[in-house]
Structure 1
């Protein structure tokens, strides 16, 4: 099992949106960065756990936990000209972009703001702290446990 941080703008898709989906499950689509795509296609697996991070808001924060329930498969939103994620270079025969399915596990009792994450020396090596703009980022087991503790959760 691996740990990840997935970023989402809450105005587009929030932890509460995930919680209210049928089966509390949704596909994680629209990733249009090659490194993040490679993680989704090659590394993110069912059973992996995800820190759900609300980005591009006044106080970005880890707000919840999700579990990957389906590994990488072609992101079909790229094939739909009516989709905001359409990519004319991607096709069902030769897909470029991938997605995974995630299921809601829990909301953090206390959101863990980016400023607190940056202030914790145990988290100094996280891509998030190093200003990575990637929407999919690996998290070490130590970082996972530290963030859960900061958010008032026991280890999952």
Structure 2
């Protein structure tokens, strides 16, 4: 069992852990040993509260599959154990962030001084543009 908080626990049977070969440079260790970890967590079937599930899926972005499964790739370290711990910590972090309810935005009104400054700037700009017009003398026509 993986403890995210004192109230939220992820069962290990809910996680699918695959070991794969890491890509990129690294010589024989990368070519011979499967040290990278692919951790899959089915959020839609998890025991998380419904609002938390929605926030986790929203925050995960492109790590989510169409079926609501989060895929975390961990290949930062040279050993399988360190990569597994890294993947689990990243999943915990993702869930902890989703546990915090976003603050609701309170509407604010811009101060009167900023409105006056904006209108004064518009007035100045209008005067500049008005000064560009051809001023024909009506007596010449």
- TM-score under structure 1 normalisation? 0.27
**Higher Cα Rg: structure 1 or 2?**
2
Greater RCO, CA 8 A, separation 6+: 1
Structure whose residues are more often helix by fraction:
2
TM-score under structure 2 length normalisation? 0.29
